[in-house]
Structure 1
Amino acid sequence: MTCWDVLGLSPNADSRTIKRQYATLLKKTRPDDDPEGFQRLREAYEHALNWQQWAQEDDSAELAVATVPTALAAQTLQEHYTLAMAAGAGLEFEVTLLERCLWDEELNEEDRRWAFDTFQWLSAWQRLELPQALIEALAEQRRQAFQHTLSLAMAERDEAAFLAAYAARVDQPWLQQPAHAQWLHHMLATLLTESQFWSPAVFEAVRTGQGWQGSDHACPADEWQHLIRRQQGPVFMAHQYALAATAPNTPQQRAARLLLAPMSLGQRRAFAQRLSEHDWEACRTLAATLKADHPDIAQAMPGGTPYFWQDWETAFNTLPLLLAIVLGCLVGALFQSPWQAGALVDTAGDALAWSMAYMAVGALAWQVWRPLAHWLRVLDERLGATLPRWMSPTRLPLLPVRDLIPGAAMGIAISAQFGPVAGLTLVAVLAAVGAGKLRAGMSVKEWAAHFPRRALGAIGLGALVVALVFAGFKHLDSRHQVGRHQGLQQWTERVCSRMPQTAEDCQAPATHAQWYGQEAEQ
């Protein structure tokens, strides 16, 4: 579609007619309602005015326009150009054809190729008289078309299609010009850097074709370093997977295991509880590399990001141990104390107070013990591998130094205070929690979909259980309490036992003087 088709005018319209028609169409095509239509109308208006200016400078332009057929054909295009040259309107013919290459979507590819080959557009041999605006628009159009073909192949992960489209660049000599060649370098570097699909064959073909060899080449420095890392990615990832499969003796090995080992989300979280600050720093480094250089692997991780572990870095997941301490102290105190005689609430209160004390002392001791456990991590892992598998919650081996020794110390302390039943309860609660984690293992999708709802449900259920238990304790304890009118009442029993039941002085409750008698007057 030409500018005359957009305006609805013939090529011989004068400038006044063009302006009037533009004003009429502008009322129907508002920038706010149809920005693309307005842009198309504006460009057609400017091209028409430029053409009218050229027509006024050379009256033979009308002949040139007439020589350009409405439907170009390969066998007649050369003949029309010959007629235009004979009439002295070669420039006007070329400009009109250039406009049609820009605006006419029905123009076939053979005609476009003939025009490029004949007039050598976008090369050093094109006419200097051509309008600069049209040349820039043509360059942008050809660049976008070439880039779209390559981008589509990368988006579809079609290695063969990309290589074929890239090889076809030799059929477009304009890409060899310095300005366009520089654009091609930047476009290819950006495309390969930002694409999630990576093919070593594609990179090698582009590097060879663009001459990206040695230390001095046209590829931008930042993108080049990134491309080299991505090209070396298979070797890097093989090394990381090897680290993830070995014993986690170094921060790099532990970071690789957390991010890349074949573990469930629950196993990863349990493993993350054992990491130190140096380990988290290694995780940050590896995650940044995966996100920048290996987007496919990063997208396949939990949540679609290599930073799925960030909330775990500051998490304090000791709820099972705290629950075990509270229940252990409570059960041990109930077995030791005569709560049936009316001291149930007092017994439970003492047990809760002691459990809080054990938690505080245990938290302080853990701050001292944790660095030592990390220092002995290698030995701890070896000892943990020798433990029976049934002792490993979430299928991760327990670490004797980090897990068993602190747990045993807490169990011994509670047993010394509240008896062996308290220690056995603590162990039973921890074992039950570990078995529950092992059985209720969920996939990443299930965890993401159900965790908030289940967490809220668990909190509400826990609050209900605590309220019911406390109400039950209060009810049992009230059965053993003494009421205000119960017990021995010395004066009333001694005097009123010989008087009628309706005597006014013997009605309950007894007064202070009746209760204490003569002692109240002293």
Structure 2
Amino acid sequence: MSSMNPWTLLGLDDDADERAIKRQYAKLLKITRPDDDPEGFQRLREAYERALSWARNRADDEDDFSTPTTTVERLSDAFAGAAPVAKQPIPGDTFIIDRAAPDRIAESIVHQTARELLEQTTAQNLQQQHQNAVTQNCDLLFQQCLLERCLEGDPSDLDLLTVAVIHLRWLTPWQSMRISADHEVQLTHMLLENESARLEQMLADDQEPAFLAALEQLAQRPWLAALERRDQFQRWAMFFLHNHKGWTAALFDRVCTLFGWDDGKGVFPEPEFIWRHLIERCEKYAYIEHLQKLINNANTDNAEGKAARMVLNPGRKVERLRLARFFGADDWIACERLCSTLKNRYPDVVAEFPNADLESWRSLQVAPMIPALWTWFGWLLFSLFFMVPDAIMSGKKLDGIGATFILLIFPLTAAVVCRLLAGIWAHVVKVLQTTDEWLSDRLLPEWLHWPASQALLLRHGTPLILVGATVSLQGPAALLCYTLLMLAWIFLSPYRHPQIYAPAREAIKTFLHFNQGKILLSVAVIAASIILVSIYPPQRHDLRIPNAGQTASAASTLDCSSDQAMELMDKECKNSLMPERCAKNTREQKISQCWRIRARLQGSLDGQHATHP
């Protein structure tokens, strides 16, 4: 940049004023954006600053040319133009003597001496060479030539420039040679760029404390004491952060504290849109750090933490199923909010999480299970499939009280007892959770063990075995029914297939929501009716039918193989609900039907005799 003419880069003449420079800069700024070409924008900005500096100091530079402290750059040009030649005498002419020739010859010798000293100058012997220049009365010329050499931008001379700034106290009020404002800007930029590689390596090595310490030391350099160079340093630091990655939001906050930047108070370097880009990137970095903390902290139970693990680090499908079973409405809302933020505000953040999946979690969005409800339903099925048939087959009288106990009181009591014991057992076995998961992973099949279906050998297997042992006291039939129900639960459990049962659950939930009052009222009426019937059973009325005994007696003695019996069966068929079907009965089927009727009539006749002897 130091070797590039700012007027050429801006497309202006070298006599342009400040107003023309600002207009041209505004036009070029529209086509040179920092996002598209950061280096080009930085070159444009430096050319703009140099051109402004030249325009503002043009008059001063012209005046300085005639002063004793004139810049040695112009003095050198004057020396170069001088010719120490005396005019030869011509016969008949008057002698013309150039009285300035000896001075010019001396100055030319001093200039040549400064050049020779500079050619042998390195960063290691600069102090000695400068002392030699002072001794030979060519101090200013030596410094001017050294400045020209440093401004050429040779990377090998960066160390020489650093030593010159320290030893000769350039860019400070104590410098012995006057340096133009444009050259001060170039030197400051070169010195800062010399520190760039070291600072960039610190960021690459994730050494933010060392980076901040180096930046603080750099800010304390004497050549950055002037206000205009401190502003240039802050702009350079802002561009450095803009052009490099690897820093965190915490580092940016500390840099803002170091320079006194405050977005709320409007204190920040120009240009403003670069500052806005840094603020947006800082917010993005802070958001990434926040999400990473949520993912790494597996014990976070808040909705935001669970949403981050579900969306950004879901893992295997079985792990997502396990996590989704504990999700509530707030958790799913947090997932939706997280996906919306990533898509609309920080689309680049998703690349920082390679396992992120913003869509598959929606298929797992089902209502949570209620273990107590499913426990009650399981005991209700056990009552229907075992206790009711067992009572009927054993000849027990299943009246209203018995039915109420079997179908209502027993399932509810068993469910409450099981949930209480399961809660106590969960706290007891929590001490062995690691061992339990290790055993479950090795002894249970993959589709059943933790975390696929949340089945743990000790936590879930032990209660099931104990309950099965208790049920087996009722006999092999009870144990068989219990085993079949448990197998059905394992293979068809909603915990393993939440998406399949989701439509039915939603339909039931909607039905219960709109008919909750009617259902409760119906249950109350049925329960009250059962209780009343159990307490006050209906009285049987003795309805005597004339000649009923004789009819039953005659029917009980009927010969089912006779033609008379066949005629009676045909009449009975015509009066039945399905006459077409029974009309196709064979003679053997009619005889069998006759025997069933005789047996029923005989039983009715025996009952009447027993009631009314």
The interval holding the TM-score normalised by the smaller chain is 0.3 to 0.5
Give TM-score scaled by structure 1 length. 0.41
Larger Rg: 2
The structure, 1 or 2, with the larger RCO (C-alpha pairs under 8 Å, 6+ apart) is: 1
